[in-house]
Homo-oligomer: A and B are copies of this chain.
Amino acid sequence: MKRNLLLTPGPSKVPVELCAVLGQPIIHHRTPQFQQVLKEVTAGLQKVINTTSDVYLLASSGTGAMEAAVANLASPGEKVITVEYGKFGERWAALAKAYKLNAVTVKIPWGRTITPDEVKTVLLEHPDAKAIFLTQCETSTSATPDMAAIGEVVRKTSAALVVDAVSALGTEPMMMDAWGVDVVCSGSHKGFMLPPGVGIVAVSPKAIALMEASSNIRFYFDLRKSRKAFADTDTPFTPAISIVIALNEAVKMLLAEGLEKKQEYYLLMAKAVWAATEALGLKVFAQPEFRSRGLTAIMIPEALNPKKLVKTMRDVHGITMAGGQGDLDGKTIRIAHMGAVDEYDIMTGLSCLEKVLYQAGHKFELGAGLAAAQKVFNK
């Protein structure tokens, strides 16, 4: 009967309404019923992404959506720019390397992200770059760049702007058309409150031209096949039917609540967590001007053994947060405020975090974190 609260940045908590949808009897994918779902879910995702461009679904995790972007946008030997400010930025470079692209990698200190000026500089240095790949919400550091300003810079060049929005979509704003983003990659299991299994890829006309020209090896992730099939309200291969059906419901729920309102609420939860962090005498890892709405990485003194704290919260109290990733392994605790998480989940998580910090000997006044968060929520 232990609580099972997921405050992890993917998978995120699945609301009970969507659990019920996931448990429904299956339908076949080559039917008018499923075609209706496909039509609705792609139209709904266009609203979330603020685009009139094509949106394709893949039966894959978020990495599959990222691979689709890399595999379709350039050809072996062609120059691309990948930007790293955390573990998921490194994945862009690893993918570009696997596909034998000529990748120029920009390394930015973790805790901040690339600035529009830095984007400008690297694109001036490499005017022959086919695309620049970056991360909207870097889940390992909880940092996010100024996508609107970066879009403004990239759209003046010939490069395509490819954004890993796996943990950002739904939570951070995404104005694909207005900002000039060419590819948005995402997944079902973060902002969309569902189990992993569906990859989402939106492609602008500029990206479509690149993908029709690319000579890269691809089959399962060949977006030309997706383009053809989705034009007929179909998928090139068997889709992850049950998750696609639930994704349609999730998107409807988000749109019914109002995306902007929801995104303001994620920001409010983020601010509550930042305030609690400070009140507990701890530090948020991401620099103030780069903090995401979707999750917060909190620096934990190594003496307190953050890995053990995460384990105790999960195994003793049934509250799952994430530890550090990559260079931050054993140094941070990450708490998600995305998808279906609400302020009471945050208060629950903070109660538990205070408990284990206190038991580990961290010095603070019990309730200080909660009070700080409560003030943010009730201003």
Which A168-218 residues have a C-beta within 8 angstroms of B? 187, 189, 195-197, 216-218
Asked if B219 and A320 make an inter-chain contact with CB atoms under 8 angstroms apart, the answer reads no
CB distance from A345 to the nearest CB of B (A): 13
Does A6 sit within 8 A of B, measured CB to CB?
yes
Task: Give the docked Cα–Cα distance between A241 and B8 (Å).
Answer: 14
Count of identical protomers in the assembly: 2
Does A94 sit within 8 A of B, measured CB to CB?
yes
Does A61 sit within 8 A of B, measured CB to CB?
yes
Contacts of A26 in B (CB 8 A): 6, 11, 13-14, 195
Does A359 sit within 8 A of B, measured CB to CB?
no
CB distance from A216 to the nearest CB of B (A): 8
Does A24 sit within 8 A of B, measured CB to CB?
yes
Does A238 sit within 8 A of B, measured CB to CB?
yes
| Per-residue contact bits, chain A 318-338, to B (CB 8 Å; 1 contact, 0 not) | 001010000000000000000
Contacts of A99 in B (CB 8 A): 217, 219
Does A100 sit within 8 A of B, measured CB to CB?
yes
Contacts of A145 in B (CB 8 A): none
What are 8 A-to-B residue pairs whose CB atoms are below 8 Å?
Answer: A6-B26, A11-B26, A14-B25, A59-B197, A67-B220, A98-B219, A189-B238, A195-B241
